[in-house]
Amino acid sequence: MGICFSIEDQKHHSISDSSSKPRPQGYESASSTTPLSSMNIKDLRQSAGYCNVDIFTYEELRLATKYFRPDLILGEGGFGVVYKGVIDDSVRPGFKPTQVAIKELNREGFQGDREWLAEVNYLGQFSHPNLVKLIGYCCEDEHRLLVYEYMASGSLEKHLFRRVGSTLTWSKRMKIALHAARGLAFLHGAERPIIYRDFKTSNILLDADFNAKLSDFGLAKDGPMGDQTHVSTRVMGTYGYAAPEYVMTGHLTARSDVYGFGVVLLELLIGRRALDKSRPSREHNLVEWARPLLNHNKKLLKILDPKIEGQYSSKTAIKVANLAYQCLSQNPKGRPLMSQVVEILENFQSSGENEEEQMIQNGSSSLTIYEVPKGGNGNSLEGRNQSRNELRRNERRIEKSKSQPSNRNLSGSSDVMLVDKVSS
């Protein structure tokens, strides 16, 4: 049997956090005292290595996707095309029929095997309700494929921005935010935290009941250990979501993910993309435009997504906006931990349910506007160094050389490689 780690296993491991407070589901640490193992292609060819992860042949995956039939394409990202498939007895004798999503990695991809290995090594070892399950993989000859559990409702990005006539209700949005926060908190809770690095709406997948799970661990990275304050990396991620200090210095911490979470929370609240060039230029970058309005209650209520009007109380919306404001702090230390974010969202959810009931009983959705204290985030850097050009390229991946950290803004920086999603 291979290496496997799940939240169930936590019961048998010591957790580094000594707090005796019972933790909510999905809040557990990703590992106990031993760092996660990492296998290379040779190891993974010989044995699946991780329990509950199967090795498939290329032919089996061809059968599962009806020879990669174009009408089974679910989407295409920076690293390859994703197909819907079924693995059953006709693909592998004895296999219980299972709907899957199969990602075939682009072999021309400049990253080679790195992303594929990161996905297998991280997802292969995790089992958590808010992380997409890796069912198996294929690494035959030049082929690199990943087989995931099928997420019937697709990505958050599709529901929030692309699907005509689809409206995600306020309560679904809050549930998705909570689930995604639990996924990140799980990763950050390891003794050696894992930094996800690519938090965005297209990487948050939804099952038939709109439970959210994080997918795409290709950019995930082991976080700092012991006395280390950060890990130095090449800057990678997606414009609009990457934390400004990470883009500028290449210094990666779990707080970079918290910033990405803040961007998604803002997208959920306002119903606009992180970067949207179809809007007037001062509104291209959602964070630059909206963050200053988040703790001005009247202004905030005017910019909330009109599609969800009447579904929330002003009081709760203001609190959620305040959480987003803190996650988006320019000063990484001014951002909350993901475990704190989970706690806050859980409280909103239980109080929000009561409010919803009250609103239904009263037949009214308008509530008094409550004042949120301003400037209480202890962030002296706020807004000072933010460059308009820093985070402006829509849906493009970032890659910057590790050896050349730069304090210059992105658009003027020669050491930044921009890679289009489809061509990378």
The length of the chain, given as a count of residues: 424
Residue 179 to residues 191, 200, 238, 398, 423, Cα–Cα distance (Å): 21, 14, 21, 26, 31
Q: What is the C-alpha to C-alpha distance for residues 208 and 211, in angstroms, rounded to an integer?
A: 7
- Looking at the Cβ atoms of 197 and 319, the one nearer to ligand ATP is 197
Is 141 noted as a catalytic residue in this protein? Answer: no
Question: Residue 187's closest CA among 22, 28, 324, 333?
Answer: 28
Cβ proximity to ligand ATP: between 100 and 177 the closer is: 100
Q: Which residues, 6 or more positions from 78, have their beta carbon under 8 angstroms from its beta carbon? A: 109, 397, 419, 420, 421, 422, 424
74 binds, among Mg ion, ligand ATP, none (CB under 5 to 8 A by kind): ligand ATP
Q: What are phi and psi of 45, to 5 degrees?
A: -70, -40
96 annotated as ligand-binding: no
In the DSSP assignment, the letter for residue 370 is: P
CA distance 175 to 274: 20
Amino acid in position 328: L
Nearer to ligand ATP, 151 or 344 (CB): 151
Task: Enumerate binding residues for Mg ion (CB under 5 A).
Answer: 77, 203, 216
Q: Closest approach of Cβ 152 to ligand ATP, in Å?
A: 7
Measured from the CB atom, the residue of 132 and 138 that comes closer to ligand ATP is 132
Residue type, 403: S
Single out the catalytic residue among 43, 88, 89, 198.
198
SS3 at position 108: coil
The C-alpha atoms of residue 273 and residue 64 are separated, in whole angstroms, by 34
> From ligand ATP, Mg ion, none, which one binds at residue 151 (CB under 5 to 8 Å depending on kind)?
ligand ATP
Question: Which of the listed partners (Mg ion, ligand ATP, none) does 132 bind, with a CB threshold of 5 to 8 Å by partner kind?
Answer: ligand ATP
Residues at the interface with ligand ATP (CB under 6 A): 74-79, 82, 101, 103, 132, 148, 150-151, 154-155, 158, 202-203, 205, 215-216, 238, 421
8 binds, among ligand ATP, Mg ion, none (CB under 5 to 8 A by kind): none
CB of 236 to ligand ATP, least distance (A): 11
- Residues marked as catalytic: 198
Binding residues for ATP: 103
Binding residues: 103
